[in-house]
Chain A
Amino acid sequence: MVNLMLANMVTALNNALDLCLNESSDIIVLGEDVGKDGGVFRVTDGLIKKYGPDRIVDTPLAESSIIGTSIGMAIAGMHPFPEIQFGGFSYIGFDQLAAHAARYRSRTMGNIQIPMVVRMPVSGGVRTLEHHSESPEALFSHIGGLIVVEPSTPYDAKGLLIKAAHSKDPILFLEPTKLYRLFKQEIPDGMYEVPIGKANLAKEGDDLTIITYGTMAREVQKTVEENNISADVLDLRTINPIDESAILKSVKKTGRALIVHEASLSFGVGAEISARIGEKCLYDLKSPVMRVGGFSFPYPFSGDEDYWVPNRNKVLYYIKKLMDS
């Protein structure tokens, strides 16, 4: 008998952390304000009371050391869950991710593994200060050796985090800030896993395939519903490794592909997917592959953010353009 709980993404993640901490004493949570404050978005709320300050650790304010020491903890047999307070601050720890976390396994032929789950809020739409709204998934995915996960629903958030806790790899777990409290869903209150590397076919249709994730997953579904469009909507859930077979299967069926993400258009996840479709099913296409993304420059101050983040107008325009070409 599965008991259900009504949860937004914050509650779902908090519940997942609780279950994982309870299951394995190798797991600790560390980062800025994760303890007494319960995290600036309250994802770790209450955990310090239950698991104590040795397992829910408020660290000094230093991102490079939060990730670097987590790598060390993993080498020592632990399974650390470092939190970076905002994705925009992860760049200070980028060296630790790119030069070390991503390479330990390959440079030791598997002798040293880095089981680690680096959580961070990403993307915009909530009127924050600078550097609190970036979408860095393409940067991390480009390195190779780092798994990059980005859920768009409470159900997936919980299941993916539990799956991450059961994995041996360094995982970047990106949590879209805007979706933290946007909606609730009934989810099982116990342990369950959502597979890493598998996209979710969130909607089924015939005329085109829309590949998306994160903040845009919901926007795309709303656009499709509001305009009675018959589309396959694939919510990637994992950016790297990408679920190429799910993408190709759908695109072969519909013959049209649109990729929608919030991150900057140029050199992004959309380019990667578009290239794969071009390489592997060009002759199934009825029209060129198209992309929707944020503009090709850094996220602006909050006053202009609604103009930078792709909106439903832009998504709909591209759907029509794709159908007409």
Chain B
Amino acid sequence: MIKEAYNTSIKNMQVMDEDSNVDISLIPKDLDDKKLIEMYKFMNLGRAVSNKLLALQRLGKVATFAPLNGEEAVQVGSAYAMDKNDYIVPIYRTHLSLIVRGVPLKSLFTAVKGYEEAYSSISDYHTTPEIIVVGSQFTHAAGIAYGLKYRKIGNAVIVYGGDGSTSEGDFYEAINFAGVFNLPVIFMIENNEWAISVPRSRQSAAETLAQKGVAAGIKSIQVDGNDVLAVYKATKDALESIKQNGKPVLIEALTYRMGMHTTSDDPTKYRPEEDVDAWQKKDPIKRLQRYLISKKIWNDEMEQSMIEENKELVNQAAKDIESVKSEPEKMFDNVYSFIPETLQEEKDEAVKNNFWQ
């Protein structure tokens, strides 16, 4: 009896296997060649951005940075499936979801350089700043979904979190809240196996993270997170389901953090390189590339020109942030909707007496 009670069945979906064989019956109808190529380009741009910021960090030109290498399919497949008026609630690694949404590279680079200016027009893109305190993003997303529903705006929300984030109380509270109020929100668990040095097995004794959604009464599915087609399909299906019955959906995408947690981290301290090598073969970009080539909609020439284009884009972004610098007096302008007398005094005193020289 106990065995039966614990039996939760979570579907694991794959559309394109590791050798790029595709189950045509599963490909969403709207995913035409143009869209496939666009997704492929976004995935490549994401990796180029990640590599560039890593290089800039090593040169001391930007601050601490969380690379996204290996997780391109989760971020592109999901963000690309969303409507541009749907909300994205990102975390410190989901830079690529923001790129897909259209947030300028200059903004992302400015954030990594360490300036709030990065986010000074972020709501125009129906997204929030990348959230760093693990787990807190989920409740915000549930709240945004509540707001959209309350205001009868027919859009949905997608919120990202890693495997580790599902251990936080806020995660459980958010899926519970979303379930109770039937909110239009997708919880995208980007399970990359590692929370800094702590492996997935140490986060939960549950067989899947997706099954945590079952307890909250929300639909949950697992997908191959290195299969961009599966992630796209799962997200589209979730949006369709939300449209039909208004209920939230949880997607656990299985992927792998190919690099360090952040530029401050040294993964060789806690995981064998062979583990990483095994995942090289599952590279999400290579996987889609092989499929595009087999469909004869992609070739070396296109690859070369895309590489050049991406190089120009990231170099331009790096150049664009060279002029971004401190303007300390601006720190005081947006603490409140007004400047209290005592705060104005702190500012005046700093300016007058050259504290910042």
Contact = CB atoms under 8 A, between A and B. Distances in A.
Interface stretch (B10-18, B30-38, B161-169, B240-248): B161-169
B114 A304 contact: yes
Contacts of A63: 168
A74 to B, nearest CB: 20
Output the residue of A38, A61, A89, A305 with the most chain B CB within 10 A.
A61
Contacts of A265: 346
B262 A129 contact: yes
A128 B326 CA distance: 16
B116 to A, nearest CB: 5
A60 B203 contact: yes
B319 interface: no
A89 B357 CA distance: 32
A38 B118 CA distance: 33
B203 A61 contact: yes
Interface string A274-303: 000000000000000000000111001111
A36 B168 contact: no
B331 A304 contact: yes
A265 B335 CA distance: 15
Contact of B115 (A62, A129, A266, A303): A303
Contacts of A295: 331-332, 343, 346-347, 350
B353 interface: yes
A46 to B, nearest CB: 11
Residue among B135, B204, B355 facing the most chain A CB atoms (10 A cut-off):
B355
Interface string A140-163: 000000000000000000000000
Interface string A29-65: 0001101111010000000000000000011111111
A60 B346 contact: no
A304 B115 contact: yes
A38 B169 CA distance: 25
B195 A32 contact: yes
A91 B115 CA distance: 24
Contacts of B196: 32-33, 37, 40
Contacts of B357: 313
A130 interface: yes
A296 B345 CA distance: 11
A36 B197 contact: yes
A306 B92 CA distance: 23
A178 B84 CA distance: 42
Interface string A1-43: 0000000000000000000000000000000110111101000
Nearest to A320: B353
Interface centre among A266, A301, A307, A313 (most CB of B within 10 A): A301
Given A58-B198, A265-B346, A301-B115, A317 B264 contact: no
B326 A127 contact: no
A159 B304 CA distance: 61
B63 A127 contact: yes
Contact of B343 (A89, A297, A302): A297
B69 to A, nearest CB: 18
A129 B195 contact: no
A311 B325 CA distance: 19
Nearest to B167: A60
A302 B168 contact: no
Nearest to A64: B169
A92 interface: yes
A88 interface: yes
Contacts of A130: 132
Interface residues of A, number: 43
A128 B116 contact: no
B343 to A, nearest CB: 6
A249 interface: no
B116 A300 contact: yes
Contact of B116 (A92, A301, A311): A301
A153 B225 CA distance: 47
B63 A38 contact: no
Given A130-B132, A131-B133, A311 B331 contact: no
Best-surrounded residue of B202, B203, B262 (most CB of chain A within 10 A): B202
Contact of A317 (B118, B168, B197, B353): B353
Given A92-B135, A127-B63, A313-B355, A38 B331 contact: no
A127 B114 contact: yes
A317 B202 CA distance: 52
Interface string A56-84: 00111111110000000000000000000
B305 interface: no
Interface in B309-357: 324-326, 328, 331-332, 335, 342-343, 346-347, 350, 353-357
A297 B114 contact: no
Given A32-B195, A265-B346, A307 B64 contact: no
Nearest to B65: A129
Best-surrounded residue of A62, A295, A317 (most CB of chain B within 10 A):
A62
B318 to A, nearest CB: 16
A90 B264 CA distance: 20
A124 to B, nearest CB: 11
A222 interface: no
A129 B203 contact: no
B164 A297 contact: no
B47 interface: no
A181 interface: no
Interface string A199-222: 000000000000000000000000
A168 interface: no
A265 B269 CA distance: 40
Interface of B: 63-64, 92, 111, 113-116, 118, 132-136, 164-165, 167-170, 195-198, 202-204, 262, 264-265, 269-270, 324-326, 328, 331-332, 335, 342-343, 346-347, 350, 353-357
11 contacts: A33-B197, A37-B196, A40-B196, A61-B135, A61-B195, A63-B168, A129-B63, A266-B342, A297-B331, A303-B325, A307-B355
Given A33-B198, A128-B264, 8 more contacts: A33-B197, A37-B269, A89-B133, A129-B132, A266-B342, A303-B115, A304-B115, A307-B355
